[in-house]
Chains A and B, each alone.
Chain A
């Protein structure tokens, strides 16, 4: 049976996490359909039709879907769900917002943040912030999953030529209204999408010292993060927090500066490909997970590192 994927997009372009989800879907079944629900989203439909492995694109183009309101999109998905045994979405804030509603309306479970497909009914997902890995099997008639992008390679964005089907359903709740959106206008990448992250901990001493990390971040195109200790101490705002209760990240390179390596922080970054730790305490637990540890005063090492890059 075909797999339905809810495409992630901003009405202008298809978001890369969709491509990783397509790869997960093709491991379940070769017949992969993409649902593009949006408004004036023709370019997204074009891109979706070209994704390798996608056989059909369902298009719901209406103002009701412009902001991906969960109330509207979930009911639309349920209306088209007939005939699909699997419904997938990327585990982004949009997918996480909408898909559990779909599962509840279908009276089935949702499996969140799937990182591996074992078979059509058995999937692997991290629990306890990745401190344990659960393999779960579901006998639900419809399997609803969100897919963690870092668990799967991206499907090729070209090479496909999917047929298109236009959906005429318009579902518009009058109890949920979009007011505004403020997207961060930073030249730096988002923490959860960054290839390189440099994070500071309590050892930074104060908020001003986080400026020390900016030079390296600029040179490496890195996002800046922080440990919970640094956030709790008021050095930086909460949204920089990497850890169990903050953001879970898995960049190619993670540089931990003045971070001791509390369990709660390690839970959020230990899947990074390469970890560098700079800390003056050679007993700091961060060194146990670091590929490269440098025991040094960060106020000497960080400026020197910036110069050497």
Chain B
């Protein structure tokens, strides 16, 4: 909110420079966002926290400045002359909803001449960001800016039946507000009505039907206290916020209603000749008793960590207009000013003491610790290590929004998966919570490819969200996503370039599991729609499926306009973060050398390596210590169309002695014969 230096100075003798005042206001809780010179004035833009609605005026912030500087305030003039006509002879006020309107005051002023406001008034309004309209409206706005109390002026002759009724709206009632918009009302909304129709939405905005016009001569000035949550609900529901509603919802001072009317009358009489009617309509002259609470000196010290002298506590609170009386050796009874709606209990008073005492005066200490041993839990360390493993494998971490486009996400969901929908998404294409990390990550590939980066390997760790049948709360699972496209590595001299493929992706998953010593990882053929039908696998950990991997289906790839093959995997991290960590048990180094043999064989095209190794294992030849595949050829290279050439490297080793070449040759022959017999293999 904007504050004028000159205006503030009409209440307080400020004996420091504007810059100094700005710094000191910041240090008592009023952050000055800017201080801008404007002619002979300075404009302070101050951030007022939602609890300090009482400071949304020159007088309100002025009270804080007076407390800060230890000064007294001079209140603005409130004097005016009244005629004999009584206000309550001219208009009746009836509050039908006292719960939402605990106090309603009003006064009639007759014979006003509507005109533009004088320059001094216009200047002041403009300085604090208010738009001048006409003298009567400007005065109500002026009083709002000055005292912080919202007022509304009705054209009295538009009030049908000369009766003001404060009631809940009836379903179906409408009002055109002064911004020209027709508003639908409902029975939760408080309105001001005459005998026939709504004439204002209470605390939010007046109606066109009773607004001040050039023809207005008699006005009814409303000064009311409306229930803050009610004003807020109405304002939210109508999506209509005003200077008045902003203040009402932050809580106004129910005791200041008549003061605001008096100040208004003083100003109206100053500006134009008019007749202020006698008396004020006041539905509840004593709306509430002053609030009292207590404060303990010992509590101030123990919470702030510094001994604040009793005299100092008394001095600081007195400056803030609290009435503070000693109760006993340690405590006081404190009466709270009516405008301080944020203060209820001792803790609120301690904050008042602390902020005026100065946070910078409180010595810094470190808390003692008497709890159990602490530190990072296993899952924290493990997640960290997963990140490190992925970066070590050459992957960059990405973070995507949790929101995705339902249509894209749907491509990456199985039929059983149901996404969580938002009621109020920020954008249409961000309407659901992601059920998979893959749509976002595939979009990351496309983004980079479109910017000329073709070789990409990325991972993401984040939650995915699903609706679960029969449970109200959707499920959230921490998940690892991996996607890659382009060449496997950077292109270097003397190195061939190779496209990233299925086995690179599988390898990084194996690498990750190897890192944690988890040996029960396995891959099985699968048929998830969004993968290439014959290049995909289900990933199991133990016997439990924990994810899937493969090549993105070429049709989806084309649909997403990605001109490269895309590989991707998604793994549920929850079981991995919780899985047993295994400590390595050292294996003695082999004492005898191994003998290595390479064999190349032609197999039928559909062979699986898994089957080959299973048959080799069935030989139960203890001296075969390792079987690796080191070369693989399909069609071309003189390979028939229905065949595949697999080159195996076999390590032979005996734990207790050196092997003879003869026994290696014998075993190798048994192996080849078995593969010939069982798998129709032909040596090449």
A binds B: no
A-side interface residues toward B, CB under 8 Å? none
B-side interface residues toward A, CB under 8 Å? none
